[in-house]
Chain A
Amino acid sequence: MDYKTVLTTCTYCGVGCNFFLEVLDGELVGTIPCKTSPINQGGLCIKGWNVHEFVTSKKRLTSPMIRKNGELEEVSWEEAIDYTASNLKRIRDENSSDSIGFFASAKVTNEDNYILQKFARAGVGTNNVDHCARL
Chain B
Amino acid sequence: MIEKIKAKVKELLEQKKIEGFLGLARVNGHTAPFLFKNIDELDNMALGDNISSGDARYPLAKTLTLFHKKYPDLIFGILARGCDERAVNSLCSFNQLDKEKIIILGISCPKELAKQCECEQPFPDDLFAGEKFEKEPFVSVKKIEDLDLDEKFDFWSYEFSKCVKCYGCRNICPMCFCNECTLESEELISKGQLPVDMPAFHLVRAMHMADKCIDCGLCEEACPVGIPLRTLYKKTNQIMFNDFGFKSGTSTGQTSPLATKQPSQKIINDEA
Instruction: Give chain A's interface residues, CB within 8 Å of chain B.
Output: 1, 3-5, 7, 18, 20, 22, 24-25, 29-37, 40, 42-46, 48-49
Please list 6 pairs of residues, one from A and one from B, whose beta carbons are closer than 8 Å in the complex, sorted by A's number: A29-B66, A32-B172, A35-B56, A43-B166, A43-B222, A45-B166
B30 on the A face (CB < 8 A): yes
Are B33 and A1 in contact, CB atoms less than 8 angstroms apart? no
Contact: A40 with B30, CB < 8 Å? no
| B interface list, Cβ under 8 A from A | 19-20, 27-35, 50, 55-59, 63, 66-67, 70-71, 74, 164-168, 171-172, 221-224
What is the bound-complex CA distance between A25 and B35, given in angstroms?
12
A48–B168 CA distance with the chains assembled, in angstroms: 10
Which residues of chain B are within 8 angstroms of A31 by Cβ–Cβ distance? 171
Chain B residue at smallest Cβ distance from A36: B30
- Bound together, the chains give a CA A32 to CA B56 distance in angstroms of 12
The smallest C-beta distance from B175 to any residue of chain A, in angstroms, reads 16
Q: Which A residues are in CB contact (< 8 Å) with B171?
A: 31, 49
Q: Known contacts being A1-B20, A43-B222, A44-B224, is A20 close to B33, with CB within 8 Å? A: yes
A34 proximity list for chain B (CB < 8 A): 30, 32
Nearest CB in chain B: distance from A105 CB, A:
22
With A1-B74, A35-B221, A42-B222 known as contacts, the answer to whether A20 contacts B167 (CB < 8 A) is no
Tell me whether B32 and A7 are in contact (CB under 8 A). Answer: yes
Other-chain residue from A4, A24, A33 in contact with B66 (beta carbon distance below 8 A): A24
Closest to B26 in A: A36
Take A1-B71, A24-B70, A46-B167 as given contacts and tell me if A7 and B63 are in contact as well, using a CB distance cutoff of 8 Å: no
CB atoms of B223 and A43 under 8 A apart: yes
Question: Does A49 lie within 8 Å of B167, measured CB to CB?
Answer: yes
Whether A30 pairs with B32 at a CB distance below 8 angstroms is: no
Contacting pair A49 B30 (CB below 8 A): no
CA distance A129 to B171 in the complex (A): 38
**Which residues of chain A have C-beta atoms less than 8 A from B222's C-beta?**
33, 42-44
Contact B30 A45 (CB under 8 A): no
What residue in chain A is nearest B30 (Cβ atoms)?
A36
Expressed in whole angstroms, the Cα–Cα distance for A65 and B52 within the complex equals: 50
CB B169 to nearest CB in A, in angstroms, measures 10
Given A1-B20, A5-B32, A35-B55, decide whether A44 and B168 contact each other with a Cβ distance below 8 A.
yes
Query: With A and B bound together, what is the CA distance between A32 and B218 in angstroms?
Result: 12
Given A1-B71, A36-B31, A44-B166, verify A30-B55 contact (CB < 8 Å): no
Instruction: Report chain B residues within 8 Å CB of A49.
Output: 166-168, 171
Chain A residue at minimal CB-CB distance from B19: A1
- Assess whether A30 is in contact with B30, with CB atoms less than 8 Å apart: no
A40 and B55 contact, Cβ closer than 8 Å, known pairs A1-B19, A49-B171: no
> Is B224's CB under 8 angstroms from A40's CB?
yes
Query: For residue A29, which residues in chain B have a CB less than 8 angstroms away from its CB?
Result: 66
Residues of B within 8 A of A5 (CB): 32-34
Q: A24-B70, A34-B30 are in contact. Are A46 and B166 (CB under 8 A)?
A: yes
Closest 3 CB pairs of A and B: A43-B224, A3-B35, A36-B30
**Alpha-carbon gap, A35 to B29, bound state (A):** 12
Smallest CB gap from B71: residue in A = A1
